[in-house]
Amino acid sequence: MNAGPRTAAISGFVIAAISVFGMLTLAVPSFAQSTQQTSRTFAVPVTGLTFLTGDSWQQSGQTMRLYGVQACLRGSTYTDKAGQRQDCGAVSLAILAAIIRDTAPTCAPVVQLSSRASSSRSLQELPGDSTILVICSAHVGGHVLDLGTILITQGFAFAALTSSGSPVYPAYAAEESIAQNARVGLWAFPDTPHPNRTLLTGSVGAR
């Protein structure tokens, strides 16, 4: 997927905002630092990616998803400032693609999930059709920042919840609240559809 001029402009604004305002709050989480030091890391290439949602992509035939992050759902819409309906999932996807392109992140695997089973297993236990949950560090202006934190604090993603409604990573939930109060990113639009409300009701099966 190639981001267009509008997405590039949005991405540039996001990166500028991070560089100026975000350095105190966008540190890589401590669990991410320890995981990246002890697990094998990999680079996310600039080309050859297929973006699936605003929190997942495929590279080298393998599906990667950001740990603890939930993007807008494809097909859900909001009204922009011009009064036009926009696909929230498509906007989330475009932002992820642009930020990955601009920040050259490196990632570390957390766990591998089977598409054929509900339980998670280690990376060595599950060959084949699966999704790897990852934590990623982006490179912005000489700083190393957590990619999930960037997306959530800038208002283009949300904190993922468990089936019981608890945050997968509580720090992301706190950052989401700050973004919501600041009305940044998608929070600027009153009718932005929060994906967790839909997912918790079980009315959407696909992201």
Q: Which residue has the tokens 């600027």?
A: 188
Percent share of the chain, pLDDT over 90? 65
Residues 92 and 71: their CA atoms lie apart, in Å, by 6
Predicted confidence (pLDDT) per residue in 7-42, tens digit: 444 455 455 444 433 433 344 454 444 444 445 899
CATH, domain range 5-201: 2.40.50.90
For residue 67, what pLDDT is reported?
Answer: 98
14 contacts 154 by C-beta, under 8 angstroms: yes
pLDDT digits (tens, 9 = 90+) for 59-116: 999 999 999 999 999 999 999 999 999 999 999 999 999 999 999 999 999 999 876 5
**Which of 122 and 192 is assigned the larger pLDDT?**
192
Query: Taking the complete model, does pTM exceed 0.85, yes or no?
Result: no
